[in-house]
Amino acid sequence: MALVVRNVSISFGGTLAVDAMDLDVAASEIVGLIGPNGAGKTTFINCVSGAYQPNTGSALWNEHELIGLPPHQQLRLGIARTFQNVASLHDLTILDIVKLGANMRGDLSMSARIAGMFRSEERLEQELIETLLRPLKLADVAHKPIQTLSYGHRKGVDLARALASKPELLLLDEPVAGMTAQEGMAMAGLIREVRDRFGCAVIMVEHKMDVVNSTCDRITVMASGAKIFSGSPVEVQRDPEVRRVYLGED
């Protein structure tokens, strides 16, 4: 197992948002995290990615403890995440944001990092446009400010930014929310393609079941902060408890 999460709990005030969650992700596996609104999916991702400090629990990534590690240190371990609500940056262009991701790659040495800080990077820019922005249909707007894009396209930029850091573990928080059904399926295809090309493991929080079913190798279902089921997409569809809690059947 590449990522081993054990017994992660976090409460806000008296509310237990995540309750003793366990999750295992193998190398280059795509795991979907689904569940009703308020199930604690995003909170769980926030605990693993260092945005929140959980009350208990551990998350080991190749022997490194991730809990409490700030984002810039997680990037050095090859972990990148995207956000449900894309951060608002006013002054930066789309290419700038993707470049930020590329500049924070984990596999660079300290000296290469410092040298890179003072270089302008035309070749890198071309490479990023061709390999990341072109497949996301964002190549033509690369030099525009990100605020000019729709919500769905901004999510694409956020994904490109995360991918530019060449992650080994990618945490995606609702990657297709706000997209049309067509764009959503295209994004799902891209996520699989990225996994096949870079071999990274992926955890994705998502609501759209068609996207989850066609993208994920395994699905974990959360309800009220706890894991209630884990299995292949077919198994999840068949499980009576999941159908009752999440898919809305009696």
Q: Is 88 in the site for another protein (CB under 8 A)?
A: yes
User: Binder to another protein among 13, 63, 91, 111 (CB under 8 A)?
Assistant: 91
What whole-number distance in Å separates Cα of residue 89 and Cα of residue 85?
A: 12
Q: Is 172 in the site for another protein (CB under 8 A)?
A: no
Options 81-89, 126-134, 198-206, 218-226: segment touching another protein (CB under 8 A): 81-89
Q: Is 103 in the site for another protein (CB under 8 A)?
A: yes
Q: Is 22 in the site for another protein (CB under 8 A)?
A: no
Options 86-94, 126-134, 213-221, 222-230: segment touching another protein (CB under 8 A): 86-94
Q: Which of residues 108-127 bind another protein (CB under 8 A)?
A: 116-121
What whole-number distance in Å separates Cα of residue 73 and Cα of residue 186?
A: 31
If binding means CB under 8 A, how many residues of this protein chain bind another protein? 29
Q: Which of residues 32-71 bind another protein (CB under 8 A)?
A: 51, 70-71
Chain CA centroid to CA 130, Å: 22
- Between 136 and 212, name the residue whose CB sits nearer to another protein: 136
Q: Is 161 in the site for another protein (CB under 8 A)?
A: yes
Instruction: Give the pairing of strands 169-173 and 3-12.
Output: unpaired
User: Binder to another protein among 52, 61, 83, 246 (CB under 8 A)?
Assistant: 83
Distances (CA, A) of 206 to 34, 41, 99, 134, 233: 6, 9, 26, 24, 13
Residues 6+ apart with CB under 8 A from 75: 104, 105, 106, 165, 167
Q: Is 250 in the site for another protein (CB under 8 A)?
A: no
Report, in Å, the least distance between residue 143 CB and another protein.
Answer: 13
Please, what's the b/e burial string for 166-176 (b: 16 or more CB within 10 A of its CB; e: otherwise)?
Answer: bbbbbbbbbbb
Q: Which of residues 178-237 bind another protein (CB under 8 A)?
A: none
- Between 47 and 216, name the residue whose CB sits nearer to another protein: 47
Please, what's the b/e burial string for 97-128 (b: 16 or more CB within 10 A of its CB; e: otherwise)?
Answer: bbbebbbbbbeeeeeeeeeeeeeeeeebbeeb
DSSP 8-class letter at 235: H
The residues that touch another protein, with contacts defined as CB under 8 A, are 51, 70-72, 74-75, 80, 83, 87-92, 96-97, 99-101, 103-104, 116-121, 161, 165
